[in-house]
Amino acid sequence: MSLEPYVKKALRVALAEGASDAEVYGSRARSLLLYVDDGKIKNVEERMDQGLAVRAIKSKKIGQSSITLATVRDAEICAQTAIKLANVSAPDPVFKHFAPSIKGSPTPITYDKDLASLSQEGICSLANDIVNSAMEGGEVKVPSGIIRAAVSQNMVLNTSGAETEGRSTMLYLHFTAMTEGTDPGEGVRFHYSNKLPDLDCVSFGVGLRNSAQEAQRAEHFRGQERMTVILPPNELADLLLSSVAFSLSAENVNKQRSAWAKKMGERVGSVQFNLVDDPFDERGMCSSGYDDEGAPTKRKELVDRGVLKGFMYDQYNALLSGKESTGNASRRDPTDPHNAYRRPLDIDPINLVWEPGSKRLEGMVMEVERGMLVDKLASAEVNPITGAFGLEVRCAKEIVKGEVVRTIDHALLAGNFYQALMGIREVGREQTVVRNCILPHVAFDDLEVIGA
């Protein structure tokens, strides 16, 4: 049974129960997962789920409900519960209607039939190729790994006439490798794509092995100094999502929590800082023609040559600000399509792209007088309100006069990310897909590094 009968039933019930406006979001996902444990295939899992989320407005009050869908009765319960909550809520003068029906641009192709039909034998073969490549030579083992291949579909229907559908595939890998012996080094590698041919298992495994061997060579950083720091895409993504994406959200602008709330048209970074949200880039894990309220997505300049150009809006915050939705209402998780109906609608970039620079990574390193090229941070996050960060560097290459001189660890990288954006030295040429971002390496000048 397709999602449509459930979605339509829930909308009908919401209206019958007295809703003046209602919106129903439905999603279904099927995934094949594989876990590697200590170099062996430990778990193989099949997972299927489907569910609905209903938002209903009654007497200017809003209620929300979500439910897993086993029968049509669940769709009825979901709608009735949303009305029950709306009955006891407080009036909200802002939310008069849901996203209107607007035809968007053609939806990008993020569905790969080979990935959608990946078999148990196929996923085991991918895992074995990665593990064998990583463990070649016998110096490295693979303690853990996950491969998640999924296919998902979603549908949005509301009383303003919006009716959208989408489907996509997703391939997500996260592996660790470890050197043998005392004081081992650990390396980590991720892969994000929506098409099977994007994955090169041998190259992934070799990269995994190299990262573990680099980590084992690391010496503890000593002292305290300011230097140039090159951040890789995988760490930059989390830093950007926890700070810049937060400050670009109209919800946080309206709540005055955004550090950039009053900076529209002003400089928020160096001229190399160019950010767009591009939902039509087919490499993007969440790329789509419509958001999860059924509003058409748009390619948006967010920061152009360091100048703030735009915020991201959902329907609610667009109404609150007297603007139009930019199609950034999202329930998506770029690593797991399951349970999307349970996630709250949030303003998120659909596909945040930092425009590439001109230099390859080697060229960026050559121009650094004193600095480090980070491979792995403990946890890449920024205080979104203040921009403050203190990040434990788990593995990095130390650079002196344009050359890598050694590998270091146990350093604390401290500063303020919003200020750091003003000191961008260089932006790399090659981009990598990480979560809902496509990013290059970026070099920041004058960051504080503290050792033991």
Partner 1 sequence: MQEILNKAVERMRSLGAEFCDARWQTMEKTLIVVVDGGVRTLSDDRLGGVCMRARVNGSWGYASGVDPGKDTVLDAANRAVRSARSGSATGAPIPERKARHAKVKATLRTHPSQVTLEDKLALVFDAERSQRVGPQVVNSNAMYREDVRNNLLCNSLGDELEWEEVRLRLIGQAISSDGSNTEMYYDGVDGSGGFELIKAVDVNAFGKRIGEEAVKMLQAQKAPSGPITCISDPMISGLLAHEVMGHASEADEIVKRRSFLTDAVGKRVASEGITMVDDGTYSGAHGYIPFDDEGTPSSRTVIIEDGVYKGYMQSLETAAQMGVPPTGNGRAEYYGRRVWVRMTNTFFEKGDMKLEEMLEDVKHGVLCDKMVSGMEDPVGGGFEAKALRGYLIKDGEIAGLLRSFTLTGKALDILQTVDAIGDKVELDGGTCGKGIEDWIPVSSGGPYCRSTIVLGGG
What residues between 150 and 179 interact with partner 1 by CB under 8 A?
Answer: 174, 176, 178
Residues 407-426 touching partner 1, rule: CB under 8 A, are 409-410, 412-416
Rounded to a whole number of angstroms, the minimum distance from the CB of residue 242 to partner 1 is 10
Q: Which of 49, 292, 293, 426 binds partner 1 (CB under 8 A)?
A: 49
Rounded to a whole number of angstroms, the minimum distance from the CB of residue 38 to partner 1 is 4
Identify the three-state secondary structure at position 452: coil
Minimum CB distance to partner 1 smaller for 345 or for 364: 345
Rounded to a whole number of angstroms, the minimum distance from the CB of residue 387 to partner 1 is 7
**Residue 64 lies near partner 1 (rule: CB under 8 A):** yes
Rounded to a whole number of angstroms, the minimum distance from the CB of residue 106 to partner 1 is 32
Minimum CB distance to partner 1 smaller for 364 or for 391: 391
Q: Which of 97, 139, 167, 184 binds partner 1 (CB under 8 A)?
A: 184
Q: d(Cα 45, Cα 157) in Å, to the nearest integer?
A: 32
Residue with token string 């990583």: 134
**Residue 367 lies near partner 1 (rule: CB under 8 A):** no
Rounded to a whole number of angstroms, the minimum distance from the CB of residue 384 to partner 1 is 9
Minimum CB distance to partner 1 smaller for 107 or for 252: 252
Full DSSP string of 294-322: SPBP--EEEEETTEE---B--HHHHHHHT
Residues 195-224 touching partner 1, rule: CB under 8 A, are 224
Please tell me the count of residues contacting partner 1 according to CB under 8 A: 84
Residues 272-311 touching partner 1, rule: CB under 8 A, are none
Contact between 433 and 284 under an 8 Å Cβ cutoff? The reply is yes
Q: d(Cα 408, Cα 128) in Å, to the nearest integer?
A: 31
Rounded to a whole number of angstroms, the minimum distance from the CB of residue 185 to partner 1 is 8
Rounded to a whole number of angstroms, the minimum distance from the CB of residue 105 to partner 1 is 31
**Residue 387 lies near partner 1 (rule: CB under 8 A):** yes
**Residue 15 lies near partner 1 (rule: CB under 8 A):** no
Q: d(Cα 44, Cα 31) in Å, to the nearest integer?
A: 11
Q: Which of 14, 25, 26, 50 binds partner 1 (CB under 8 A)?
A: 50
Residue among 15, 29, 157, 172 nearest 98 (CA)? 157
Contact between 238 and 245 under an 8 Å Cβ cutoff? The reply is no
**Residue 360 lies near partner 1 (rule: CB under 8 A):** no
Q: d(Cα 332, Cα 279) in Å, to the nearest integer?
A: 13
Helix (H), strand (E) counts: the chain:
11, 22
Contact between 416 and 407 under an 8 Å Cβ cutoff? The reply is no
Rounded to a whole number of angstroms, the minimum distance from the CB of residue 201 to partner 1 is 16
Q: d(Cα 108, Cα 113) in Å, to the nearest integer?
A: 15
Q: Which of 3, 57, 62, 396 binds partner 1 (CB under 8 A)?
A: 62
Full DSSP string of 170-218: EEEEEEEEEESSSS--EEEEEEEESSGGG--HHHHHHHHHHHHHHHHT-
Minimum CB distance to partner 1 smaller for 180 or for 430: 180
For 104, residues 6+ apart whose C-beta sits below 8 A from its C-beta are: 289, 290, 296, 297, 327
Rounded to a whole number of angstroms, the minimum distance from the CB of residue 67 to partner 1 is 5
**Residue 113 lies near partner 1 (rule: CB under 8 A):** no
Pick the stretch among 263-271, 321-329, 363-371, 443-451 that binds partner 1 (CB under 8 A).
443-451
Pick the stretch among 299-307, 354-362, 385-393, 436-444 that binds partner 1 (CB under 8 A).
385-393
Minimum CB distance to partner 1 smaller for 273 or for 417: 417
**Residue 255 lies near partner 1 (rule: CB under 8 A):** yes
Pick the stretch among 9-17, 49-57, 105-113, 274-282 that binds partner 1 (CB under 8 A).
49-57
Full DSSP string of 315-384: HHHHHHHT----S-EE---TT--TTGGGSPPEE--SSEEEPP-SB-HHHHHHT-SEEEEEEEES-----T
**Residue 392 lies near partner 1 (rule: CB under 8 A):** yes
Binding mask 67-86 vs partner 1 (x if CB under 8 A, - otherwise)?
A: xxxx------xx--xx-xxx
For 216, residues 6+ apart whose C-beta sits below 8 A from its C-beta are: 179, 183, 184, 185
Q: Which of 12, 20, 129, 143 binds partner 1 (CB under 8 A)?
A: 143
How long a stretch of residues is the chain? 452
**Residue 233 lies near partner 1 (rule: CB under 8 A):** no
Minimum CB distance to partner 1 smaller for 101 or for 339: 339
Residue with token string 């950010």: 275
If phi > 0 it is left, if psi is from -120 to 50 it is alpha, else beta; for residue 24 that is: beta
For 292, residues 6+ apart whose C-beta sits below 8 A from its C-beta are: 25, 154, 156, 329, 330, 331, 332, 340, 345
